[in-house]
Every structure is written in C-alpha cells, then in structure tokens.
Amino acid sequence: MQSSFSVLTMLWSMCAAACFMLGMIQVMTWYQRKWKTAYLLSFSMAIAATLIALFELSMMFATDVERYQVLFSLHAFCIFFVLLSLVLFARSYLGHGSQWILVPIIVLWPIQVLANTLFPEGPLYLNVLQIERVETYWGESFTFARIETSPMKYLTDTTTALIMIYLMQSAWAGWRHGMRQRAIVVGGGSMLFIVIAGIHTPLVDAGLVRTPYMISFAFMPILASLTYQFVSEAERDRTDLQRMRREMERLSRIGMLGEVAAGIAHELNQPLTAILSNAQAARRFLELENPDLDEVRDIVNDIIADDKRAGGVIHGLRAMFNRDETLPGAARVNDAIRVVSKILIGELRSNKVKLETELAKNLPAVIGDEVQIQQVLMNLILNAMHAMSDAPDHARRIVVRTVPAGGEVLISVADTGPGISAEALPRLFEPFYTMQKKDGLGVGLAICSRIVERHGGRIWAENNSDVGAIFKFTLPIKRDTDEKPA
C-alpha cells in the first residue's frame, strides 16, 4: 500500500512557510524602521514568493488541463510581481539605477502581466496542451504539463534581460557609493535567483527536464539574505542609537559643568586659600628658634582637612562628568543628593537661591547607578534655579525631599517660581522642548525621563498648590541588598 506521506507536499509547504515567516520579520522591520518603502516592497516579495510556492504545489496535483491552466496563469502573475517588486526594491534600497532602463521595465512588464491575465492564451504561453503524471525516483508522482510557447515570449525574455542589467547596474552604483554589503545582497542574490530560475524554468517548459517548477526555492535565498541584512542593520542602528544617547548624556553633564563652573571655582578657592594661609603660617612658625610643634601640628591638620575638602569636590566632578557606562547596582539617593548639593552650592549662592533638603532617615538603597541619579537631580535643581530667576531674592527657595513609597523611593524637587503653564505640562519631557528664555536646548528633562524610565521608575511634574512647581520621580527599592540605609 502506498504511503500517504508526500515528500513534495512537505518540501513546498516548508518553502511557503519559510517565505511567509521571513515576510513577517520584514514587515515588523518595516514598521520599526519608520515605514520605509524598501522594507514594504521586500515584504510584498515574500508574500508573492509564498503564493508561488503554493501554486507550484497545487500544479503538481492538478487533475485536469483547465485547472492547471488557471494555476499556471496565477503562478506567472506572481513571478511578474516578484520581478517588478525586485526592481523597485533595488531602486529604493540602493538609491541608484539608470532610469533609461527602469522606465522600459515599468512600462513593458505590467503590459505583459495584464495581457497574460486577461487572455488565457496570452503573449507568454499559448496553451497548456496536455498534462501527465510523472513518477519521482522515490515513487511519488506529480503533474507535468506540455506547453506550447508563443513567439511573444521573447518580449518577456527581453524584459527579463533588462531587469538583470538594471539590477547589476544598480548594485554596482551602490558598491561605488560605499553600500557594499547592500550591493552584494541585492546584486548577488538577484543574479543567483534569475540565473537559476532562468535556466531551470525554460528546460521544464521545453520538457527537457521533467521536474516541478522550483522558482520559489530559487527566490527563498534572496528573502533570507535580505532578512538577515535588515536585522543586522536594525541591530547596528540600535547600537549606534544607544551610543549616541550615552554621548548625549555625557555632553549634557559636561554642559552642566560649564554652567556651574563659577560656583565650583568658588568652592575650590576657599580651601585652596586656607591651605595657602596655613602653609605660610607653618613656615613662619618653623623659622622661629623654638617653634611650637603643637601649633604646627594643628596647622598641618587644617591643611589636610582643607585638602580633603577640595579633593572631595574634584572627586565628585570626575565621577559625574567623565563616566559613560551605566554600572547597575545599589544606589543611595540621600548620598547622591548630598554630593549634588556640594557641587552646586557655589552656583546656588551666586544666584541667591536657598537649597533645603528633607531626607528620610534609614532610606533603603534603590536599583540603579548613583552617577546617573546625580545627573537627574542636578538637572532638576538647575531647572528650578532658572525658573526663579525673576523671583525676589528672599523668595528663591528649592526643597529636595525623599520619602519611601511602598516598594519605591519618591524624590521631589520643589521651587517657588512662577509654575508651569497648562500648555507646557504635557510637553515638558519631549526632546528639544524648553521653557527657558535663552540658552535652553530642551534635552535635559528628556534625558532625565529616559534615565528614570531605564531605572524602572516614573517622572512627572505638577504645580504646587500655593506657588511654584514640583518635579517628582520614583526609583524601585533594591531588595535583598547588604547596602546600609542612606
């Protein structure tokens, strides 16, 4: 008894499923890459290749000439569609190609498709004369047709030759313009498909090779290589985007450094002046005939203390402005606030702004990077300071609070400025949106939002009930940590 298992059905079904799966990957890429035409054309080719495989499978089991003729016409239509889409894809994806070759292809190819669809005995093939069953070497049979070709088929062959020339010329132009990998995939893959299909298909038409049509198998490597190329490009773009974001964050920190440079210079000047004065005093004591060593020892201790004070400021700056990579772990929010307060104290004094902190005791550590949390805090405090630039000196006040809130820590930065307009509130965290009158790029709050969200938290803004605005953000508490509360 003959087995019901069909190798032919399995192979062509697998080919159709593979083409469809590759098409789904490509349509997702099309959606992610901002709806670019090249990816949509590639997806349409994948769907057409899926239909080609299914039509080839159906033709193998057709039982009468009429059914075979209909399937054969639909098969030819899908091939026309794939080749025209391939030409348009090369034009869109590589951005190069001769219009003198492209225009005849676009004109001739649809005419042949229309004629072949409207007339059963169209210009491509006159008629399917008869069908017969051919047995494979493993014992399975399939339908094989004797076809009478038309002299008009040479028009199709000419158009196919123009397509080959266009694809080669487009790939070569792309290669010369630096798109070498794209050129290899499009040019090499297309030529391989056309050569294999162009040799095998005429031999089957002439009856010299008694096998099923295998155009779908010839086209599948193109789809696979294009999908791999699309995914690789998307991954490279994602890596480049992450690198650009990290660089933007670093440049934002450097920009803040320039903004607070005067205050930092003031903070460093005080310990350095004290060190100089103490050193001069110690030298005078040592020049005495009987110096008081206890007094000299106290002076040296003062010098050490002032040096540590200056070193602390410099250490905080180095940590904040020279790091690019995120080091996940346990961060102590209260410590981050204290560091930022020390860095900004000179800038706040010069702008006559009073900074107050209300930090919760025994605050648990949060998940994240302390330097990036410092960056968020510094952005919010500087924004609050700028918001109060028109307020009276005695009314300029910033309050930074921390409180535990369930499984999170809530941090807030409140000011006594004019508040935020209803129009501006929904757009505060959009890139390049700023309310500053001058020198505002509008990237600070957008970066703050991205950092907080990357840490698993939320950030928002609202107006105070009396005066000013308040920015709040949350960070998740780190569980099972050995970190001591801040």
Q: Which CATH class is domain 7-244?
A: mainly alpha
- E-assigned strand segments in 56-154: 125-135, 141-149
| pLDDT for the residue 2 | 46
Q: Determine whether domain 260-322 maps to CATH 1.10.287.
A: yes
Beta strands in 29-140 (DSSP E): 125-135
Contacts of 34 (CB under 8 A, 6+ apart): none
Per-residue pLDDT of the chain (486 residues; tens, 9 = 90+): 344 678 899 999 999 999 999 889 888 878 776 667 888 888 899 999 999 999 999 999 998 888 888 888 888 888 888 888 888 888 888 888 888 888 888 888 777 767 666 665 554 555 677 889 988 888 889 999 888 776 667 777 788 888 888 888 888 888 888 888 888 888 888 888 888 888 888 888 888 889 999 999 988 888 888 888 888 887 887 787 677 666 666 666 666 565 556 556 655 665 777 788 778 878 877 888 777 778 878 888 878 877 876 776 666 556 555 555 554 578 889 988 988 887 777 778 878 889 999 999 888 889 888 877 887 888 888 888 888 888 888 889 999 999 998 889 999 999 988 888 888 777 777 766 666 555 555 567 777 888 888 888 899 989 888 888 999 999 998 876 444 445
Q: What is the pLDDT of residue 321?
A: 55
pLDDT, position 196: 83
CA distance 104 to 171: 19
What is the identity of the amino acid at 363? L
- Which sequence spans correspond to the domains of the chain? 7-244, 260-322, 329-486
Supply the pLDDT for residue 152: 67
pLDDT in the model for residue 249: 61
CB neighbour list of residue 380: distance below 8 Å, 6 or more residues apart: 413, 448, 471
Residue matched to tokens 């070709």: 149
How much is the pLDDT for 292? 78
Backbone angles phi, psi at 56, to 5 degrees: -60, -40
- Among 245, 56, 233, CA closest to 144: 56
Instruction: Find, among 402, 400, 398, 411, the residue nearest to 458 by Cα.
Output: 411
pLDDT for residue 253: 61
401 has which bridge partners? Answer: 358, 412
The predicted pLDDT at position 1 comes to 37
Q: How far apart are CA 342 and CA 345, in angstroms?
A: 5
Tell me the whole-structure pTM to 2 decimals: 0.57
What is 329-486's CATH number, 3.40.1280.10, 3.30.565.10, 3.40.50.720, 1.10.10.10?
Answer: 3.30.565.10
